[in-house]
Amino acid sequence: MYQFFFRTVLSKLDPEVAHHLAFDAIRFLGNRRVAAALGRTTAPSADLSVSTLGLTFPTPFGVAAGFDKDGEAVLGLGALGFGHVEVGTLTAHSQPGNPKPRLFRLVPDRAVINRMGFNNGGAAEAAERLAHVRRARNRPVLGVNIGKSRVVSVDNAVDDYLTSTRLLAPVADYLVVNVSSPNTPGLRGLQELDRLAPLLAAVKTAAGDTPLLVKIAPDLSDDEVARIAELVVSTGLDGIIATNTTISREGLTTDSAVVEAAGAGGLSGAPLAKRSLEVLRLIRRVVPDSMCVISVGGVFTARDVQERIDAGATLVQGYTAFLYLGPLWARQINRALSALRA
């Protein structure tokens, strides 16, 4: 039924308009009574819980940063069956993001190109909202993803991240330093070790007891991935998220004119699966077994989730398939994972 609705209605709408329509519906599902009733139908039918970061995740599957940028639909997403919700990317300064259009579907590839540019209302506004979310019963685990404000230069990035950290670490179950979006000028340069090391050390100190992870790009070389993984271990971070979107356009089946018309931005979805899995395996060779590694990129099915876990992922996230598979996607993952492990 959703596939029919997607083909006949949603695919005809501007992708960002369609996202906001779906988002409003999901936000409504966060109503306490609605969420309680729905949650009973979307929860795993067997125990899929994972203990990591000093937390218990009811299922290893969660929604990646980018879907709920300001933390407005956390409870609705939890009611749909996601075991954790990573909100953001949030920045110290509110910002509108890049000019529209900035979100494009590549339907033949089950992929999306976005150049949203960290559009969000700012860390202070989100902190107030998330403080209320934290007090809700039966909520999902809450991750908060922070990035550099566009108005701040790369040279002043540390102070900008620290502003967000001090506001958001107290209301987060875990915090993520995003240095890997391709849509903020200069941001990916922060993955260079001489810039990344002092940034992570400073944020770790400011985050206090809140678990801290870093999110990296799939476009790094294998050696760069390994060196960052080593840095994460030596700095005492709690984990790595691999990976963000890619700037590559290799291997796409969508008409090249359509891809070219979409322009710059990060590609997510099925084409990212191979590289995301490779990066996961590279990281797991370097970091201790006890370290939390969250795999994201090209995940569509429960078998995809299980493949990531078998390759060493502690948790798995998805986003793009939500657009293609609809609101019962997390429920389907949870039920199929339960069946695979039976």
DSSP conformation class of 176: E
Amino acid at 203: V
HEC profile of 298-333? CCCCHHHHHHHHHCCCCEEEECHHHHHHCCCHHHHH
Residue 5 confidence (pLDDT):
67
Q: Is the pLDDT of residue 3 over 80?
A: no
Residue 342 confidence (pLDDT):
72
Average model confidence (pLDDT) across the chain:
92
Q: Is the pLDDT of residue 42 over 90?
A: no
Among all chains, which residue has been given the structure tokens 């949030």?
A: 90
* 264/110 Cα distance (integer angstroms): 18
Average pLDDT over residues 44-62: 93
Give the confidence band of 187 by pLDDT, cuts at 50, 70, 90: confident
Q: How far is CA 75 from CA 83, 146, 293, 315, in A?
A: 11, 20, 24, 19
On whether the CB atoms of residues 323 and 103 are closer than 8 A, the answer is: no
35 against 75, higher pLDDT: 75
Could you report the per-residue pLDDT of 260-308, keeping only the tens digit for each? Answer: 999 999 999 999 999 999 999 999 999 999 999 999 999 999 999 999 9
Q: Is the pLDDT of residue 79 over 70?
A: yes
pLDDT above 90 coverage of the chain, percent = 75
Q: Environment class of residue 151 by beta-carbon count within 10 Å: exposed (0-12), middle (13-18) or buried (19+)? A: exposed
Residue closest to 204 by CA, chosen among 242, 237, 234: 237
- Which stretch of 35-49, 54-68, 129-143, 228-242 has the lowest confidence by average pLDDT? 35-49
Q: Is the pLDDT of residue 34 over 90?
A: no
What is residue 175's three-state secondary structure?
A: strand
Could you report the per-residue pLDDT of 306-327, keeping only the tens digit for each? Answer: 999 999 999 999 999 988 888 8
Q: Is the preceding peptide bond at 320 cis, omega within 30 degrees of 0? A: no
Which residues are known catalytic residues? 181
* 213/55 Cα distance (integer angstroms): 14
Give the confidence band of 335 by pLDDT, cuts at 50, 70, 90: very high
Residue 281 confidence (pLDDT):
97
On whether the CB atoms of residues 123 and 146 are closer than 8 A, the answer is: yes
Q: Is the preceding peptide bond at 101 cis, omega within 30 degrees of 0? A: yes
